[in-house]
Structure 1
Amino acid sequence: MGKTNPTYRDRLNAWEDDWQSFRQALRAPRREYFDELLVMANELSMAAGYQNTADFATPLLVSVCVRQQEEIAALQARLDDVDTTPEVADA
């Protein structure tokens, strides 16, 4: 990877370029979601690059899944912090 083979980041950038027509066809809110998926994939690109596989899509999808799992866990922690016990009115 590097001098003779494209790096994972190079492949991710090329993939993003290839998918621009798809992105442009999305309405604005969904375009933002698409962009966020690319941010997630970029955030874990070092780990995906270490996988060093010919299959580019799997590390991309696993990277996105890991980041989404992080977000789910953070949201769950916030929900756990919320007191959901209903208050009992004094009689």
Structure 2
Amino acid sequence: MGRTAHTVREQIDDLEREWQPFRRSLRRRDRPAFDELFERARSHADAASQQAPRDPWRAFVMAVLLSQEREVQALRDDIEALRDDIEALRDDSDSVGDDEGSRDDGDHR
């Protein structure tokens, strides 16, 4: 009988097991980032399975890249929103300064 092909999710699990010696050699602070890479890959395993990759690394890399690209775009959007907020605050402070300079308080010494 023939072997059943592993799903992409199973292939990602196999890769993670294969890379455990590497993970163990990482500093403790880097291990969560390593684990996050595999979580990101698993989150796109369904889409990767549509490609039916022969090489699980290709599916892993594409899934991680996609996830990171989404995060980069979200950070760019956040930065743009913060820039808009800063600009609005500057405009507000400029108009407050203009209002104070044009006020006549009656004291002309």
Q: List structure 1 segments (4+ residues) > 2 angstroms apart after TM superposition.
A: 83-91
Corresponding position of 2:40? 40
* Higher RCO, 1 vs 2 (CA within 8 Å, ≥6 residues apart): 1
- Greater helix share, structure number: 2
Q: How far apart, in 2, do the equivalents of 1:73 and 1:50 lie?
A: 24
Q: Equivalents in 2 of 1:11, 1:58: separation in Å?
A: 11
The structure having more radius of gyration, on CA atoms, is 2
Distance 2:55 2:14 in 1: 14
The TM-score with structure 1 as length reference comes to 0.86
In the alignment, residue 49 of structure 2 is paired with which amino acid?
Answer: G
Residue pairs, 1:4-19, within 5 angstroms = 4-19=4-19
- Cα offsets for 1:12-53 (capped at 9, x unmatched): 111111111100111122111111101100000001111112
Distance in 2 between the 1:32 and 1:4 partners? 32
Question: How many aligned positions are there?
Answer: 89
Normalised to the residue count of structure 2, the TM-score between the two structures is 0.73
* Equivalent residue number for residue 61 of structure 1: 61
AA in 2 matched with 1:41 = A
Partner of 2:86: helix, strand, or coil? coil
